[in-house]
Every structure is written in C-alpha cells, then in structure tokens.
A = this chain, B = another copy of it.
C-alpha cells in the first residue's frame, strides 16, 4: 500500500508517518520510484505500536526507539528483551546529593524488602535505583507511615508479574512473546495508574458516604 493508505488504515496523518520514518521508529517502505514507496501489514502493526508507546505509554521518541530496538534485536531472549526494555523506559535517577542521608536509608530499606520477598534482582539495576529514589522521596517528605504498606505494593507487583508472564509464555510464537513483554511493561504502567485512580475514587467516595453521580 502507499503511504496514504497506511495513514487511513491507522488514523496517523501522513506528515506524522514521515516524521516517524525520519526518526527511525518505522522501517522504510520498499521504494518503487524516486518519490514512492510501498508499505505492508508489518508497517501497519508497527505504526500502531509506536502510537501506543507515545500516546498511552507517554514515552519519549528516544525511549520508544530504544524499546523498538529491544523488540527487533535478533536472537534475543525474553529475559534479555525485558532487561533492555526496562532500561529504555526507566529514567536515570537524578544524581543530586544525599545531604540528609535519605537515599542511604532507602537503599537499606529496599535491600531488606528484596531479601524478605526473596527477590533475585540486580543491586545496581535501573528498577532498583528507581525504587530507592521513590522511597527516599517518601522519607524526605516525612511520609514514613505510608511506607508501612510497602509490602502491599510488593505483593501486588509480584502477582501482576506472575499473571502477565503466564499469559505471555502461553503464546505460541516468540515474536508475540517478545512484543507482549514490552507491551505489558509500558502499557501496564498506564493500566495500573488508571486502575489505581478508579479504585481510589471508589474507596474515597465510600469513606465520605457520597453517592456516584
């Protein structure tokens, strides 16, 4: 199909598609003349994935490119793809000082948590550093009581991870598995955030005895 049909089949405007092509988010089509190229179903599929990462996952162009590279890496394992995609979407924690020692205390708290949960996770990994940063923020704000439910978060995360990987491992093709890992990672954050807001709204409304309207 030509770029116009690719646009109409995905709802993505032609100039936007050209921008993604320039940014390397979408592979080039097959050139049929100096000014024309043909695109296939693979382009439709990839374009939908790009839109989901940018619009729903709120990833940057650079992070989206990295995530796609993780999917496309030849000979990748599921575990390797997950690691690469996690690095791509997890922002480096801001360096900043630790004048108040909060980060050191948070580091200890996360180590104890990982030990208690029996988690085998890399000490210097991006996910772990991100968690340490968040825990330190709670402590700096004097919200230690809210860290009392850290295990509730951990249990929820364990269950979701186990359920998700079971679904993905049940898929017959490796391509589908790799894509599922990345989609579960990126869109799963957005899904959980929206779900939390709805549950908070319900719990809060019950607490004040208001009726839905």
> Which A positions have Cβ atoms within 8 angstroms of B?
11, 48-49, 52, 55-56, 58, 77-79, 82-83, 86, 90-91, 94, 96-97, 99, 114, 117, 119-122, 125-128, 130-131, 133-135, 137-138, 140-141, 143, 145-146, 148-149, 152-154, 156-165, 167-171, 179-181, 183-185, 187-208, 210-213
**Which residues of chain B are within 8 angstroms of A156 by Cβ–Cβ distance?**
156, 159-160, 192, 195
Could you pull out 25 A-B pairs where Cβ atoms are within 8 angstroms? Answer: A11-B96, A52-B137, A55-B137, A56-B137, A79-B208, A79-B210, A90-B197, A119-B199, A126-B197, A127-B201, A128-B194, A130-B194, A131-B195, A131-B198, A133-B194, A134-B187, A135-B191, A141-B179, A149-B164, A156-B160, A158-B203, A165-B204, A181-B204, A185-B197, A192-B193
> Which of B79, B157, B203 interacts with A205 by CB under 8 Å?
B79
CA distance A117 to B190 in the complex (A): 20
**Which residues of chain B are within 8 angstroms of A204 by Cβ–Cβ distance?**
78-79, 82, 161, 165, 181
Main secondary structure of the interface of A (DSSP, over half): helix
Which 8 pairs between the two chains have the least Cβ-Cβ distance?
A127-B197, A156-B156, A120-B212, A131-B194, A157-B199, A161-B199, A157-B195, A130-B194
Number of copies: 2
Question: Nearest Cβ in chain B — how far from A125, in angstroms?
Answer: 7
**Which residues of chain B are within 8 angstroms of A143 by Cβ–Cβ distance?**
180, 183, 187
Q: Is the CB of A161 within 8 A of B86?
A: no
Q: Is the CB of A199 within 8 A of B158?
A: yes
Given contacts A56-B134, A160-B153, contact A141 B48 (CB under 8 A): yes
Question: Nearest Cβ in chain B — how far from A91, in angstroms?
Answer: 7
Given contacts A141-B48, A146-B184, contact A130 B190 (CB under 8 A): yes
**Which residues of chain B are within 8 angstroms of A194 by Cβ–Cβ distance?**
90, 127-128, 130-131, 133-134
Q: Is the CB of A188 within 8 A of B196?
A: yes
Q: Is the CB of B97 within 8 A of A183?
A: no
CA distance A153 to B195 in the complex (A): 7
